[in-house]
Amino acid sequence: ILNVEQSPQSLHVQEGDSTNFTCSFPSSNFYALHWYRWETAKSPEALFVMTLNGDEKKKGRISATLNTKEGYSYLYIKGSQPEDSATYLCAFISGNQFYFGTGTSLTVIP
Amino acid sequence: GAGVSQTPSNKVTEKGKYVELRCDPISGHTALYWYRQSLGQGPEFLIYFQGTGAADDSGLPNDRFFAVRPEGSVSTLKIQRTERGDSAVYLCASSLYGGNNNSPLHFGNGTRLTVT
């Protein structure tokens, strides 16, 4: 069983604040790291697919970095908006398997 | 185009009954995954299909759980003699090729199973 950890478990921020959270994963047998956003009453949607050490990906106000040698990825949200409220899941990919963390639940307070 | 469809969206059943959960993946996606999510947990892997065959069923918790994908498209997760501990959201996801080809997962909305 591969251990993928996310922190913090939950987060409340004020609208306009920037925030970040962490995904930790094994540094061996790495193939890829995915980030997903899961809004209430919807299905999880892929945000980023990251494969290379040092990768940085950006989509609007959301960006992510990857360090495969030390086994972590950060997700950043700049200027949080209420519509960013969701659970953010990371998944470590190895051997065609997706190993998910428990997620970070973000609530943006207007 | 159509996304991943799961039916039913909600299922309430009595302890000991048999249930079937259906997943209709995105057309052309060869990989199909079943996950189970309990409150406060991340998605827990159950089984992965590549085409018609179960490439990895190591996540099925016991022999009450079984899944099929006979034609390489629709998949059915079957649970026999349901127990209250089986209550969870069952998520299905499909992927163009599978994890080792950088193709992300596309999830359905899940089936919320409640065993009373």
Instruction: Give the pLDDT confidence of B18-71 residue by residue, as tens digits.
Output: 999 999 999 999 999 999 999 888 899 999 999 999 889 999 999 999 999 999
Check A4 against B43: CB less than 8 A apart: no
Nearest residue of A to residue B89, measured between CA atoms: A43
Report whether pLDDT(B80) > 90: yes
B33: chain A residues, CB-CB within 8 Å: 98
Q: In this structure, what are the phi and psi dihedrals at residue A41, rounded to the nearest 5 degrees? A: 70, 15
Report whether pLDDT(A96) > 80: no
Give the bridge partners for A65, in sequence order.
A56, A74
- Taking the CA of residue B109 and the nearest CA in chain A, the distance in Å comes to 5
As a whole number of angstroms, the distance between CA B7 and CA B9 comes to 5
The pLDDT-based confidence of A1 (bands split at 50, 70, 90) is low
- pLDDT of B81: 97
- Reduced to 3 states (helix: H, G, I; strand: E, B; else coil), residue A47 is strand
CB B37 within 8 A of CB B25: no
Q: Is B43 on the interface with A (CB under 8 A)?
A: yes
B54: chain A residues, CB-CB within 8 Å: none
Nearest residue of B to residue A4, measured between CA atoms: B42
Instruction: Return the closest-CA partner of residue A104 out of A41, A1, A34, A11.
Output: A11
B7: chain A residues, CB-CB within 8 Å: none
- pLDDT of A27: 86
CB B9 within 8 A of CB B113: no
Report whether pLDDT(B1) > 60: no
Instruction: Give the nearest partner residue to A97 out of B41, B48, B110, using CB atoms.
Output: B48
Instruction: Give the pLDDT confidence of A21-66 residue by residue, as tens digits.
Output: 999 999 888 889 999 999 988 999 999 999 999 999 999 999 999 9
Chains A–B, number of C-beta pairs less than 8 Å apart: 68
How far out from the chain centre does Cα B110 lie? 8
Q: Which residue did the predictor score with more confidence, B53 or B97?
A: B53
How does strand B65-68 pair with strand B75-79?
Answer: antiparallel
The pLDDT-based confidence of B99 (bands split at 50, 70, 90) is low
Report whether pLDDT(A97) > 90: no
Question: pLDDT over 90 for what percent of chain B?
Answer: 83
- pLDDT of A41: 86
Average confidence score pLDDT of chain A:
94
Give the bridge partners for B93, in sequence order.
B33, B107
- pLDDT of B39: 85
